[in-house]
Amino acid sequence: MKSHSTQPAMAVPSPPLVGVASPFFWPSVFIVLWSSGYVAGKIGLPYAGPFTLIFLRFSVAAAILLAAALLTRAPWPNTPRQWFHIAVVGVLIQALQFSGLYSGLSLGVSAGVSAVIVGLMPIFTAIGAVAFLGERVNKRQMLGLALGLAGVALVVAHKFQLDSGSAHGYLAVGLALVGITAGTLYQKKFCSSMDLRTGGCIQLTVATLIVGAIGYRTEGLAVQWTPTLMGSSLWLSLVNSIGAISVMFLMLRRGEASRIASLFYLIPAVTAAMGYFVLGETLAPLQILGFAISASGVYLTTRK
């Protein structure tokens, strides 16, 4: 079945990710940008509830992308089907992933268990890529995926509390896993040629409406306006919702979904390192070992 998202009116020329000799440059940029969101979020959470902070993140990013799209006269989707596909990715990757994760944490699921559950994403993405995208995953890549998950487990072992949380909490984190996995596959299959400015604006607008409704119902969208909160919100909007997501979509446009998904194995370790340097958190030898194992797993998965 042919995808309807690659019509000429929608397609945008995609210059190669050139200018950097190392093939590890853009994956490294993505990992650092995505990981920084956890640190920025932790800095902003004392001044706003989790859903309120996500609402600020999405709404500001959507407004920035709208302004960029209008100023640069970026092409908008020209069929209802294209609008629908792009909106679905916004619901999955943005709204469902983050709503599920924060709901699970608020219902008592520990950060370690959440990280391990969401850490299954590369494995399920690889399975989905074989089933729905026709990609091939060899034994070396499967070994790399298994090593990556083992590394994640070591990195978050000190936060692992299996008896914490309710059934609803685990279900919520499971929905976050479904969101990021299905969204990655859906983006690769139906939205590879979307313009990053207009497509991102649509996705973030849809996510803003969903998360805003949840935040209003559960937190009243209450905010303590401080320079720290504004800095955190701007970082989450510009660096994470626009920068990291755009780099991810560009890599998906040019690579296999299973290989790109494996990069998520390194995010817990890089986040732990950032927490050590920025927030003064501890960094145990076991976490460093986990980082090394995850890195070796990612290398096996992504090496061609």
User: Distance from first CA to last CA of the chain, Å, rounded?
Assistant: 28
Question: Per the domain annotation, does 2 fall within a domain?
Answer: no
User: What's the rounded Cα separation, in Å, for the pair 190 and 93?
Assistant: 14
Name the residue among 151, 150, 148, 136 with its Cα closest to residue 258.
Answer: 136
- 303 pLDDT band, cuts 50/70/90, is confident
* Amino acid type, 181: T
* Amino acid type, 49: G
Q: Confirm if 186 and 127 have CB atoms less than 8 A apart.
A: no
19 pLDDT more than 50: no
Measured CA to CA in angstroms, residue 224 lies from 43, 44, 49, 50, 58 at distances of 13, 10, 10, 13, 18
Q: Confirm if 78 and 9 have CB atoms less than 8 A apart.
A: yes
Residue 187: domain span: 25-302
Question: Per the domain annotation, does 207 fall within a domain?
Answer: yes
Contacts of 25 (CB under 8 A, 6+ apart): 17
Cα dihedral value 84, 194, 254, 184, nearest 10: -30
Question: Per the domain annotation, does 4 fall within a domain?
Answer: no
Question: Per the domain annotation, does 111 fall within a domain?
Answer: yes
Question: Per the domain annotation, does 15 fall within a domain?
Answer: no
Question: Per the domain annotation, does 16 fall within a domain?
Answer: no
User: What's the rounded Cα separation, in Å, for the pair 280 and 107?
Assistant: 26
Q: Confirm if 261 and 187 have CB atoms less than 8 A apart.
A: no
Instruction: Name the phi and psi angles at 13, rounded to 5.
Output: -55, 135
Helices 97-106 and 50-71, interaxial angle, to 10°? 160
Contacts of 35 (CB under 8 A, 6+ apart): 267, 270, 271, 274
Per-residue model confidence as pLDDT tens digits over 232-281: 999 999 999 999 999 999 999 988 899 999 999 999 999 999 999 998 98
Per-residue model confidence as pLDDT tens digits over 123-165: 999 999 999 999 999 999 999 999 999 999 999 888 877 666 7
> Can you give the pLDDT at residue 164?
66
Number of compact structural domains in the chain? 1
Question: Per the domain annotation, does 13 fall within a domain?
Answer: no
Question: Per the domain annotation, does 198 fall within a domain?
Answer: yes
11 pLDDT more than 90: no
